[in-house]
Structure 1
Amino acid sequence: MTIVDPDPLALASLTADEAVSELYAAHWRRLVRLSVLLVHDQGLAEEITQDAFVALHGRWSRLRSPESALAYLRQTVVNRSRSALRHRKVVDRHAARERLPEPAPGADDGVSADVRRAEVLAALHALPRRQREVLALRYYLDLSEADIAATLGISQGAVKSHASRGSATLRTHLAPHLEDLR
């Protein structure tokens, strides 16, 4: 189906509905493409173009020369595309302000983490071998009690006992050091 441009002089004799319908059929795609080139967003471009046609329809009776309707549409699409870009820039700028930068790590954060890690490792190494193995398998490898029991060749009850005793000992040894590090 070939769409023919409406005769600009004939537009003057048409009602607003008829004239805008003919302009829409003939120029919708080109005006959307124009807007897409400006805003780089197909959906937004279609919305802008649609709004331009609605604005033309609303102003049809006040249009001095209906022959310039297409020029009016083009100018409206360009202006609304510019407005959309300005709006996008403001929104992006505002969003950037709302995203507060992550607090920079303190100069001693790395040192504190290293000190805490050293304290935990020292306390862990002070535990009896079996308690140390159970806690490492439970918290480092995230194994279940049954898997720990199978790995170490002990009962699940022994795993629970070693885990409980080892955790209590670690809490006792680490409590004063952790308070100092906070």
Structure 2
Amino acid sequence: MPAEPADDPRSWSADEAVSALYAAHWRRFVALASSLMGESASAEEVVADAFVTLHGRWNRLSDKGSAVAYLRTSVVNGARDVLRHRVVTDRRRPLPDPAPDGPEEHAVRAAEHRMVLGALDALPTRQREVLVLRYQGEMSEEDIAAALGISRGAVKTHAHRGLSALRTALSLEETP
């Protein structure tokens, strides 16, 4: 049975479409941007900017069915822009004080989390981007290739090398 015109997202107004997309995808895109950027405040701004831009361009979007892919690409590119800008400002910013220790279990998990994030941050940018998009963003190799403007083979290579480097870095940190 064909969908009623009101049920077809391609016939929605910009307000209806962006509201529906926001409700369905906001958290996932914030998590994706947070993983790429390492914190959530700027990630929320990047995602909000992507939704605002989509709203403004809704009537010019040639394939409204690809709005989620458009948003994902906007979020990835926005996060990358923020990271490029942050490189300069972070050089001048002092390191924050470490968070106070909580219960032992929380401390162990936090330490492990920091180890993984540290190892991830030590990867070359392209390897880190591919791994974050693949595992946090749950993107396919094809989608990652399109988002980063590289070939699918390059995505596989960066993922393999990144995972190998993570395994090596994490195994070295665990040995006394």
User: TM-score, structure 1 length as denominator?
Assistant: 0.46
In our comparison, the structure showing a higher alpha carbon Rg is 1
